[in-house]
């Protein structure tokens, strides 16, 4: 007897490309397809839709070619507008009451860098007569724009996630977290980098850093199946040095402002699609006296290049519910 399992599409949205994993269940072994689609300039910028019609055409063609029509879709929202913060709310409220309280306090005691957010939260502790929550927020309008394009393209969006949570989910499934570790996840990408601190398997603080490199100096190489840098190597070297300084400052802020000087980052996990991450890993080891790990070392377990870590994390999401 032959069983046919329904496929699921797991999609990562970048300014320059779409990266996907197709799976039949919530295991790495169930992945049946993967790939990247290069986007023309001007479709997205800093995660914002600039030309929705052109992006829809790209997706419609992809859905048609891959026979994805009516398949469920999980996707990561672009990182540029993600807000993660700790927030105090009245103690003793139900989850629905907490959500109502947050909505009521928006623009008053709870201020976000955008209006009309999609919000989610987890309760992480108590502080005197208040409950401490971890608040996740994202502009609703941007999510809705992507949802409309996905639906018009023939997909059925089911899950919207954050790339940092998706990668950490995979890290957790691979049984890599250590007891009481304070992890800094460094997503070093071509367009931007994202720094996220995790403690007790939860994100605590995050920062998005837009790349200063000339977007037009990246060119697609068919031979390498990747975007390659064609500009001045000195620009790359300067960017790397600037990023290392930013990571150092992030770690100091986490230690003294977030953890009140009581705790510090104990491990850095490096991932992303930036070229020569192996060299960057060596620079991190020279610069910081903490454990340095990378998704690159785990490619045998992932069975895919490390740059697919966030998409694979989407695929294994249901296993960790």
Q: What is the pLDDT of residues 248-280, one digit of tens each?
A: 999 999 999 988 999 999 999 999 999 889 999
Residue 3 pLDDT grade (very low, low, confident, very high; cuts 50, 70, 90): very low
First to last CA, the chain: 30
The predicted structure's pLDDT at residue 116: 85
Residue 285 pLDDT grade (very low, low, confident, very high; cuts 50, 70, 90): very high
Q: Is pLDDT of 117 > 90?
A: no
Report yes or no: 19 and 36 within 8 Å, Cβ to Cβ: yes
pLDDT, tens digit (0-9, with 9 covering 90-100), for 202-222: 998 899 999 888 888 888 777
Q: Is pLDDT of 313 > 90?
A: yes
Q: What is the mean pLDDT of the chain?
A: 90
Average pLDDT over residues 130-137: 89
The predicted structure's pLDDT at residue 226: 78
Using alpha carbons, select from 203, 168, 192 the residue that is nearest to residue 293.
Answer: 168
Average pLDDT over residues 89-111: 86
> If you ran DSSP here, which 8-state letter would residue 77 be given?
P
Report yes or no: 290 and 266 within 8 Å, Cβ to Cβ: yes
Minimum mean pLDDT range among 146-155, 205-214, 237-246 = 205-214
Average pLDDT over residues 15-32: 92
Report yes or no: 170 and 313 within 8 Å, Cβ to Cβ: yes
The predicted structure's pLDDT at residue 5: 59
Task: Assign 58 to helix, strand or coil.
Answer: helix
The predicted structure's pLDDT at residue 6: 83
Minimum mean pLDDT range among 55-59, 196-200, 230-234, 295-299 = 230-234
Q: Is pLDDT of 2 > 70?
A: no
Work out the angle between the directed axes of helices 277-287 and 233-253 (0-180°, nearest 10).
40
The predicted structure's pLDDT at residue 232: 87
The predicted structure's pLDDT at residue 41: 85
Report yes or no: 183 and 198 within 8 Å, Cβ to Cβ: yes
Q: Is pLDDT of 195 > 90?
A: yes
Q: Is pLDDT of 24 > 60?
A: yes
The predicted structure's pLDDT at residue 86: 86
The predicted structure's pLDDT at residue 71: 96
């Amino acid at each position: 007897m032959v069983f046919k399992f329904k496929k699921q599409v797991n999609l990562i949205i970048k300014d320059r490309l779409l990266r996907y994993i197709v799976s039949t269940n919530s295991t790495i072994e169930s992945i049946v397809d993967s790939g990247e689609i290069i986007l023309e300039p001007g479709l997205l910028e800093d995660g914002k839709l600039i030309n929705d019609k052109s992006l829809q055409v790209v997706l419609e063609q992809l859905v048609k070619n891959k026979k994805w029509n009516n398949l469920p879709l999980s996707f990561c929202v672009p990182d540029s507008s993600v807000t993660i913060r700790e927030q105090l709310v009245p103690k003793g409220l139900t989850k629905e009451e907490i959500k109502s309280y947050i909505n009521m306090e928006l623009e008053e005691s709870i201020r976000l860098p955008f209006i009309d957010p999609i919000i989610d939260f987890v309760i992480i502790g108590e502080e005197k007569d208040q409950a401490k929550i971890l608040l996740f927020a994202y502009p609703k309008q941007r999510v809705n724009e992507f949802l409309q394009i996905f639906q018009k393209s023939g997909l059925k969006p089911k899950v919207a996630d954050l790339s940092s949570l998706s990668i950490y989910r995979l890290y957790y499934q691979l049984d890599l977290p250590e007891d009481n570790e304070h992890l800094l996840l460094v997503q070093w990408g071509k367009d931007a980098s994202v720094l996220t601190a995790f403690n007790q398997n939860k994100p605590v603080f995050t920062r998005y850093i837009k790349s200063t490199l000339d977007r037009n100096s990246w060119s697609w190489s068919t031979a390498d199946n990747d975007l390659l840098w064609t500009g001045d190597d000195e620009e790359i070297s300067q960017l790397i040095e600037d990023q290392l300084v930013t990571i150092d400052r992030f770690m100091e802020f986490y230690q003294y402002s977030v953890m009140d000087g009581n705790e510090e980052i104990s491990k850095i996990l490096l991932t992303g699609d930036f070229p020569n991450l192996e060299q960057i890993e060596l620079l991190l080891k020279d610069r910081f006296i903490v454990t340095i790990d990378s998704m690159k070392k785990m490619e045998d377990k992932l069975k895919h290049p490390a740059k697919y870590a966030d998409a694979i994390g989407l695929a294994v999401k249901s296993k960790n519910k």
